[in-house]
Amino acid sequence: MKNLVVFASGSGSNFQSIIDAVSNKQLNANIAGLITNNENSFAIKRAKSHSIPTACINPSLFKSEDEYCEFLLKQLHNWKADFLILAGYLRKIPGKIISQYPDRILNIHPSLLPAYGGKGFYGKKVHEAVIKNREQESGCSVHIVTKQYDEGPILAQSTVKVDENETAESLARKVLTQEHILYPKVIEHHLNTLK
Ligand code: GRF
């Protein structure tokens, strides 16, 4: 069975959907650990209540990117990570890590990439821009992480309608609901594809 290491910085609701998918055998994998950069992340509580090991690693506390990468890689090796699953992780994954896990790092983004992706488009900012531009639709995308931020190959997308009077908050909720359905399915499919 493949080992997943999930990276999350915030509430971790996508992490929860992955935990649930593993529990109900929709996703045939083991969650070997959670990495967060934020000691207050609710994802830590979710991990603890499911006995998933956690590591809080703050990239800013290392003297250099090389030292940070070495530390992170050691942790990933200890957990025998096969795939890295980014679920609301607000730090860039260094190129050195990406080259160690080719095609084996996935991310979910709350827009229909390539639209509203790249630097500055995260969280609420994505939904605010979608509404400001009067888009009719938005959604979420699961993609492979490459060195080009938010530009790796898209594996799947889910679309939602942007209603009149939509707010960034209501759109975020709608998109998140789709994320929770899409991400575990795409992870399962990707694990089987790379077997
Ligand atoms: C999600 O909208 C995801 O697309 C983005 O960050 C958010 C994380 O939400 N990358 P959560 O922490 O999983 O609730």
> What's the confidence (pLDDT) of residue 71?
97
pLDDT digits (tens, 9 = 90+) for 65-119: 999 999 999 999 999 999 999 999 999 999 999 999 999 999 999 999 999 999 8
Burial of 73 (0-12, 13-18, 19+ CB in 10 A): middle
- Asked whether residue 195 carries a pLDDT value surpassing 90, the answer given is no
> What's the confidence (pLDDT) of residue 119?
86
CB atoms within 10 A of CB 156: 15
pLDDT digits (tens, 9 = 90+) for 173-188: 999 999 999 999 999 9
Give the pLDDT mean for 145-165.
Answer: 94
H or E element: which one contains 158?
A: strand 154-161
* Separation of CA 10 and ligand 1 centre (Å): 8
For the packed helices 124-132 and 168-193, what is the interaxial angle rounded to 10 degrees?
Answer: 120
Burial of 12 (0-12, 13-18, 19+ CB in 10 A): buried
* Separation of CA 89 and ligand 1 centre (Å): 8
> What's the confidence (pLDDT) of residue 194?
87
- Going by CA atoms, what residue is nearest to atom 7 of ligand 1? 88
> What's the confidence (pLDDT) of residue 149?
81
